[in-house]
Structure 1
Amino acid sequence: MGEIAERYRRRAEVFEQKVAGVRPEQWANRSPCEKWSARDVVDHVVVMHGVMLRPVGRALDSGPSVQDDPLAAFRAARTAVEAVLDDPALAAQECETPAGRMTAADQIDQVVSDDLVLHGWDLARATGQDETMDPVDVERLWASNSAIPPEVIEQYRTPGAFGPGIEVFGPEIAVPEDAPLQDRLLGYIGRQP
């Protein structure tokens, strides 16, 4: 198993535990993503798993919906992405992405795998679970996000820049320079730590 697949599996396991930890009455709770409930966070993550499958000619199987069973829907999406990462030919297949041409595995790593960490925090905040992110993931996400050129960050902060209703980052929230790195990362992407 490669580094990307291993990282994805580790992050997916943590996210799955958070989904499993949501009590039925918490699914409508507001998340830090202004327009989303806890259920919407999981729906977004499942939808993005489907987006990662398209460049390799795959799609999510019709199975349980996030409305009916968020945990089963995430597990099915996770299984589909893991199948791509486990197939060397599919994982190495190149595709066009908003960030340029890259392999399917790299796109999964840079998009949905990172989303599992950040949206895992959103889900935890919305449902009163442990919000602590893995420090290794925080350092990696800080390094990659803080290296994004300012003009691209501006585009990420512009609602609708990547399509109707799509918001990548919110406006930056000021966080003290000596705050923990997780808090600085969250502030940078527009979350209130």
Structure 2
Amino acid sequence: MEPAESLARYRRRADAFESLVVATPDNLWSAQSPCDDWDARGVVDHIVVMHDVMLRPVGLSPSAGPSVAEDPLRAFRRARADVEALLTDSDIATRMTSSPAGELSVSEMVDQVISQDLVHHGWDLAMATGQDATMHPGDVEELLPVVASLPDEVYIPGAYGPDIVVLGPKVAVPSDASAQDQLLGLLGRDPHWVAP
């Protein structure tokens, strides 16, 4: 995949996620998300942490900025700017790096990890805060076969290291469920989750 394509897709997904962060009222940052261990702020914190992980293979550190605890929006914008800087530098974007999925360019790593994370964690944040949780149809179409082909190991807590949980158990959905609901079930999410 060309770095420009990865960048355009990342920016579209980051725009959508940032819109959800912007629209989250202060009193809902502690609202439970569909992920048992995270409230709404925890979802954003995970996204920021994973953005920062993208910097490590090229020897970079996160830029200075507030924490998610201090300011979720500014923390996300800082992390986003760092990742966009990777993708807009052609030397870095095309650099090969090792990943759990094998040798990938930096742009491919961003596209396959954090860019995809923005899609389903955007759903988590939207559900936690009562916003529109409709995923981009193109993202659903792209991600459904990818997630369906994941190895069983991704559903085993600790399979990729101590305390690392990639996906929760699959959630069964009806055979005629929408593509988004099928994707969510494969991601270990109940499409009809309701906040406690």
- When normalised by structure 2's length, the TM-score is 0.94
Q: Is the partner of 2:169 in helix, strand or coil?
A: coil
Matched to 1:108, the amino acid is: V
Where structure 2 has 5 or more consecutive residues not aligned to the other structure, the ranges are: 192-196
Matched to 1:137, the amino acid is: D
**Match of residue 12 from structure 1:** 14
In the alignment, structure 1 residue 34 sits paired with structure 2 residue 36 = yes
In the alignment, structure 1 residue 2 sits paired with structure 2 residue 4 = yes
**Match of residue 139 from structure 2:** 137
Matched to 2:91, the amino acid is: A
Q: Is the partner of 1:2 in helix, strand or coil?
A: helix
TM-aligned CA deviation for residue 164 of structure 1? 2.9
Separation (CA, whole Å) in 2 of partners of 1:2 and 1:105: 9
Hey, which bits of structure 1, 4+ residues long, moved more than 3 A?
Answer: none
**1:155 corresponds to which of 153, 156, 165:** 153
Separation (CA, whole Å) in 1 of partners of 2:25 and 2:165: 27
Q: Is the partner of 1:121 in helix, strand or coil?
A: helix
Give the root-mean-square deviation of aligned CA atoms.
Answer: 1.0
Q: Is the partner of 1:113 in helix, strand or coil?
A: helix
**Corresponding residue pairs, total:** 189
**Match of residue 168 from structure 1:** 166
> Aligned ranges for residues 120-131 of structure 1 at < 5 Å?
120-131=122-133
Separation (CA, whole Å) in 2 of partners of 1:88 and 1:144: 27
Separation (CA, whole Å) in 2 of partners of 1:164 and 1:127: 30
Separation (CA, whole Å) in 2 of partners of 1:45 and 1:163: 19
TM-aligned CA deviation for residue 163 of structure 1? 2.5
Q: Is the partner of 1:171 in helix, strand or coil?
A: coil
Separation (CA, whole Å) in 1 of partners of 2:36 and 2:153: 19
> Aligned ranges for residues 1-193 of structure 1 at < 5 Å?
2-148=4-150, 152=151, 154-193=152-191
The one-character-per-residue Cα deviations of 1:23-71 (angstroms, maximum 9, x if unpaired) are 1111111111111111010000000000011111112112110000000
Separation (CA, whole Å) in 1 of partners of 2:163 and 2:128: 21
Matched to 2:119, the amino acid is: V
Separation (CA, whole Å) in 2 of partners of 1:92 and 1:76: 22
The one-character-per-residue Cα deviations of 1:159-180 (angstroms, maximum 9, x if unpaired) are 1222333211111111011111
Matched to 2:158, the amino acid is: G
TM-aligned CA deviation for residue 87 of structure 1? 0.5
**Match of residue 194 from structure 2:** none
